[in-house]
């Protein structure tokens, strides 16, 4: 498993994250997930509100990519991993409470992404290279 640095954690906490999965027919699916947060040094978490393509793809076993970029400092990361869906239990209840606080409907599930690789999205010669 790859370990997130404090810089990575700060960027996830302050910037919009986009989650990529693969549809059953092989086409990409990318969705903004403003609920994306750091769960631990090697895991990210987000609320799956609609139960749409991202939910279906994770349920089917699709790998997950979470990308985050800070345009002001021209830097970013792509986190690759495997996701599990929590549809009940403590993590689900925490996600449901967070959704209620910001006026969103109760989520379908909470997705936990175990980060297996981290790639740099900083422009230049290192762009796209695996860094962890």
**CATH number assigned to the domain comprising residue 28:** 2.30.110.10
- Residue 103, pLDDT score: 85
Q: Is residue 125 part of a domain?
A: no
Query: For 1-132, where are the E strands, in sequence order?
Result: 17-22, 28-32, 37-40, 43-48, 63-70, 75-86, 109-120
Q: Is residue 129 part of a domain?
A: no
Q: Is residue 42 part of a domain?
A: yes
pLDDT tens string 12-51: 999 999 999 999 999 999 999 989 999 999 999 999 988 8
Average pLDDT over residues 98-109: 88
Half-sphere exposure of 60 (CA within 13 A, CB side): 14
Q: How many domains does the chain have?
A: 1
- Residue 98, pLDDT score: 86
Task: Give the global pTM.
Answer: 0.93
The range of the structural domain enclosing residue 35 comes to 6-120
Q: Is residue 12 part of a domain?
A: yes
- Residue 127, pLDDT score: 83
Q: Is residue 128 part of a domain?
A: no
């Amino acid at each position: 498993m790859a370990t997130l640095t404090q810089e990575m954690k700060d960027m996830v906490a302050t910037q919009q994250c986009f989650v990529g999965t693969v549809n059953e027919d092989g086409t990409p699916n990318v969705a903004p997930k403003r609920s994306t947060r750091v769960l631990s040094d090697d895991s990210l978490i987000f609320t799956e509100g609609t139960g749409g393509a991202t939910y279906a793809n994770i349920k089917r076993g699709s790998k997950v990519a979470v990308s985050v970029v800070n345009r002001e400092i021209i830097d970013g990361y792509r986190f690759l991993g495997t996701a599990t869906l929590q549809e009940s239990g403590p993590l689900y209840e925490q996600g449901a409470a967070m959704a209620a606080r910001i006026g969103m409907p109760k989520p379908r599930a909470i997705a936990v992404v175990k980060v297996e690789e981290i790639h740099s999205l900083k422009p230049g010669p290192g762009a796209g290279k695996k860094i962890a």
